[in-house]
């Protein structure tokens, strides 16, 4: 049995300490709880180079993950996705050291599998009797899958206009599906009302429990390991709830404390849609928190997130890294989905297309130099968004 | 550079020898060509236990794959998919040692990635200037993906009634899509007519070139390695063109010659749909070849294959193994897709559902005993068939 070095939880805003071994949602300040580890002990016990012989899933980083007992792992083979060198795409846009972290091969076809594998494993380990999640689509599918494998009933709440495919996926996986008028935060409200009436049902909303973040942070561990324990100059990440970006920044902190990487960090670029860009607006205004975006509209369902509870964590990481937040149009996303597909053979989600649109924009403005190494995060398969293709 | 032990090709019917290093389709007898290796030399050079430290893709078996130069590999991270222990499903149906070889995580979401990764890599290595494939859907998507990554134009031919999602996938990946009135063999005819008019365009039809089989055989290598170099008592495989079943049987021959497994083989169960069961009919009649099935109809597009050029190879493997061929209804497939999803968190394709329907039928008849180890092959993601879900 591999030992986790998990010690406690900490409020992301106030730093107040919480018990890691009971079910927890937000802190008393209403902010995300972050999992903390004894990194000094972990540094002595874990040799980064010995990881190479472990299974190619996110569980290879088990000492830095919160699950206590290996028997509690709910796994469908998530993580350790390919970091593809994008040579043909790079030639086309004049960028040599270009990579795509391709999340399409995860269970249920998106990066959501990472967070939900951890969150469901840990919820079950700590005694949850059922789980609940509001979602634009992909998180619902992942929740349904892991809850089914865990033997826990799942209740998923999606906007009424979600593509039918996501509804079918959740039903095939045995989840109870509720369609809600409005967007993801409206789904969150209805889900919360039902949780209040159902003892033992645990809320897995983005950053409203501590462990989805722990799953998402493995994106950062993997990129470092796949680049031989270095990091790229620039990481371009499509931002809805922002868990991946916040998670990677946390992973970089941890890996530096572990002595696995030096202090050189990528500039973190947060990409949103012109039709829903609360983080971009807050970044430009110099705000610590992001105001809700009114009338959110975009073809990238994962970016249609008008309110992010982790807004200050996203903005903090972007600023500390020397990065920026930019928005792109739906037309540009669609065009770049075709470009990635045609040149690299990856059918990217529109969110993945958004990262390429951002790269092209930032190359034009000179914010990214042609010789810098860049990783684009394609967060899911385009197949679930195939309706955007002619 | 890892050395392949590929030596030559051999007609699957007559045994006549052919050159492996030029582009080849069928033998002069009009039958599939099989790749042959110097297994005696490979046995001395490759230690099966050293494979554990290689990357978790099908390329870990490179010495037994046909690609000459590692630079020729066209890879998107295919293969080494999870072999999931299905405990909850096993409890529900009263079968303890039950496994699902889950192919949903492959690039483009199906087992077709295995064959096309190899076929496209080798076609490019041997000088093809473009590729062509008739397909029920999944092979077209995989061809489009690997051809794009290889920088080769792809021409895909699908039945006019194929779900729109497959058309969108191929277009997003830059392929030229042709919709044909009829089924996959009609697509094959139109594709062949166009190949005759276009020099340099290579035909990647199932078993009409030698290397898709080499990709599919890795299913057999992986199951053996994942079961610590033993094989299950029973393997249940949904059979359209049958490449996976034929490929696994070939892999078992090779591994036995390599000394990697002993002589104990699984009984191979070929599953088809009641609406298209040419192999089942030929098996029951004791025929060597299967007659074309008239009026093929099934929700499992991958099983809507009225004519298989490898029919005699499928039937031979099933018979040599002491297995059988059975057909199941579309209703049973759909019901079992729900059962797999609800119990194990895997959204299976109807073809995957068919394997469970077959297992339940064969348990009832006593052909499979409750204590036998069984592997079900879920050949692709249910997401592409989500329209079968209510």
Per-residue pLDDT of chain A (390 residues; tens, 9 = 90+): 568 999 999 999 999 999 999 999 999 999 999 999 999 999 999 999 999 999 999 999 999 999 999 999 999 999 999 999 999 999 999 999 999 999 999 999 999 999 999 999 999 999 999 999 999 999 999 999 999 999 999 999 999 999 999 999 999 999 999 999 999 999 999 999 999 999 999 999 999 999 999 999 999 999 999 999 999 999 999 999 999 999 999 999 999 999 999 989 999 999 999 999 999 999 999 999 999 999 999 999 999 999 999 999 999 999 999 999 999 999 999 999 999 999 999 999 999 999 999 999 999 999 999 999 999 999 999 999 999 998
Residue B322 in contact with partner chain A when CB distance is under 8 A: no
Distance of CA B172 to the CA centre of its chain: 24
Task: Using the predicted structure, report yes or no on whether residue B274 has a pLDDT greater than 80.
Answer: yes
Q: E strand or H helix at A342, and its extent?
A: helix A330-344
* Residue B390: predicted pLDDT: 87
- Identify whether the C-beta of residue B325 lies closer than 8 Å to the C-beta of residue B269: yes
Residue A336 in contact with partner chain B when CB distance is under 8 A: no
DSSP conformation letters of A172-214: HTTPEEEEESS-HHHHHHHHHHHHHHSTTEEE--TTTSSHHHH
Residue B344 in contact with partner chain A when CB distance is under 8 A: yes
In chain A, residues with a C-beta closer than 8 Å to the C-beta of B92 are none
Pairing of the two strands A98-102 and A83-85: antiparallel
Of A76, A100, A382, the closest CA to residue B141 belongs to: A382
* Residue A390: predicted pLDDT: 87
CA atoms of B104 and A106, how far apart (whole Å) = 9
What does each C-alpha distance from A278 to A117, A133, A171, A321, B62 come to in angstroms?
A: 28, 22, 32, 19, 49
In chain A, residues with a C-beta closer than 8 Å to the C-beta of B177 are none
Residue A342 in contact with partner chain B when CB distance is under 8 A: yes
State whether A56 and B80 contact (CB < 8 Å).
Answer: yes
Residue A276 in contact with partner chain B when CB distance is under 8 A: no
Hunting for tokens 């967070």 — which residue is that?
A115
Closest CB to B345 among A56, A173, A345: A173
Residue A49 β-bridge partners: none
Looking at CA atoms only, how far is residue A351 from chain B in angstroms?
Answer: 15
State whether A76 and B389 contact (CB < 8 Å).
Answer: no
Asked whether the ipTM of the predicted complex exceeds the cut of 0.90, the reply is yes
Q: How far apart are the first and last CA of chain A?
A: 51
* Residue A1: predicted pLDDT: 57
Residues 61-100 on B with a CB inside 8 Å of A are: 74-77, 80-82, 84, 88
Closest CB to A347 among B173, B345, B390: B173
CA atoms of B268 and B377, how far apart (whole Å) = 11
- Identify whether the C-beta of residue B54 lies closer than 8 Å to the C-beta of residue A59: no
Of B348, B350, B347, B349, the closest CA to residue B330 belongs to: B350
Question: Residues, chain B, total?
Answer: 390
Residue of B334, B383, B387, B390 best to disrupt the A interface, most CBs of A under 10 A: B383
CA atoms of A229 and A249, how far apart (whole Å) = 15
Looking at CA atoms only, how far is residue B76 from chain A in angstroms?
Answer: 7
Q: State the average pLDDT for chain B.
A: 97
CA atoms of A17 and A11, how far apart (whole Å) = 7
Looking at CA atoms only, how far is residue B105 from chain A in angstroms?
Answer: 4
Of A198, A186, A111, the closest CA to residue A152 belongs to: A198
Hunting for tokens 């194990």 — which residue is that?
B344
pLDDT tens digits along B4-63? 999 999 999 999 999 999 999 999 999 999 999 999 999 999 999 999 999 999 999 999
* Residue A92: predicted pLDDT: 98
Task: Using the predicted structure, report yes or no on whether residue B1 has a pLDDT greater than 80.
Answer: no
Residues 157-176 on B with a CB inside 8 Å of A are: 164-165, 168-169, 171-174
* Residue B287: predicted pLDDT: 98
CATH topology of domain B83-110+210-388: Rossmann fold (3.40.50)
In chain B, residues with a C-beta closer than 8 Å to the C-beta of A77 are 81-82, 84, 102, 105
Q: Any idea where the domains of chain B sit in the sequence?
A: 83-110+210-388
Residue A344 in contact with partner chain B when CB distance is under 8 A: yes
Cα-flanking dihedrals φ and ψ of residue A224, to 5°?
Answer: -60, -50
Residue of A91, A347, A385, A390 best to disrupt the B interface, most CBs of B under 10 A: A347
State whether B82 and A84 contact (CB < 8 Å).
Answer: no
Closest CB to A168 among B74, B104, B389: B389
CB neighbour list of residue A371: distance below 8 Å, 6 or more residues apart: A96, A97
């Amino acid at each position: 049995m591999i030992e986790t070095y998990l010690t406690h939880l900490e409020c992301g805003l106030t730093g107040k300490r919480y018990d890691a071994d009971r079910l927890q949602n937000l802190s008393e300040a209403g902010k995300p709880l972050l999992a903390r580890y004894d990194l000094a002990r972990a540094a002595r016990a874990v040799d980064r180079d010995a990881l190479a012989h472990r299974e190619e899933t996110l569980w290879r980083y088990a000492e830095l993950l919160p699950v206590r007992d290996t028997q509690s792992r709910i796994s469908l083979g998530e993580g350790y996705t390919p970091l593809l060198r994008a040579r043909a795409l790079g030639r086309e846009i004049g960028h040599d050291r270009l990579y795509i972290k391709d999340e399409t091969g995860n269970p249920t076809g998106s990066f959501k599998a990472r967070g939900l594998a951890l969150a469901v494993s840990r919820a079950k380990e700590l005694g949850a009797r059922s789980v609940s999640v509001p979602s634009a689509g992909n998180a619902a599918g992942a929740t349904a899958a892991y809850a089914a494998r865990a033997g826990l009933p799942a209740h998923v709440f999606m906007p009424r206009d979600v593509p039918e495919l996501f509804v079918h996926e959740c039903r095939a996986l045995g989840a109870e599906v509720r369609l809600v008028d409005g967007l993801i935060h409206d789904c969150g409200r209805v889900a919360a009302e039902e949780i209040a009436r159902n003892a033992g049902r645990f809320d897995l909303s983005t950053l409203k429990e501590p462990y989805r973040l722990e799953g998402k942070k493995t994106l950062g561990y993997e990129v470092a390991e796949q680049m031989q324990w270095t990091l790229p100059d620039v990481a371009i990440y499509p931002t809805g709830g922002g868990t991946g970006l916040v998670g990677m920044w946390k992973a970089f902190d941890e890996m530096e404390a572990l002595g696995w990487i030096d202090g050189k960090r990528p500039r973190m670029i947060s990409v949103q849609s012109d039709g829903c860009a609360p983080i971009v607006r807050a970044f430009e205004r110099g705000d610590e928190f992001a105001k809700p975006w009114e009338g959110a509209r975009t073809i990238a369902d994962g970016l249609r997130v008008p309110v992010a509870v982790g807004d200050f964590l996203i903005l903090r990481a972007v600023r500390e890294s020397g990065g920026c937040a930019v928005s792109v149009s739906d037309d540009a996303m669609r065009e770049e989905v075709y470009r990635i597909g045609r040149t690299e053979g990856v059918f990217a989600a529109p969110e993945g297309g958004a990262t390429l649109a951002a790269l092209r924009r930032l190359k034009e403005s000179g914010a990214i130099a042609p010789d810098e190494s860049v990783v684009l995060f394609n967060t899911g398969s385009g197949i679930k968004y195939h309706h955007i293709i002619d």
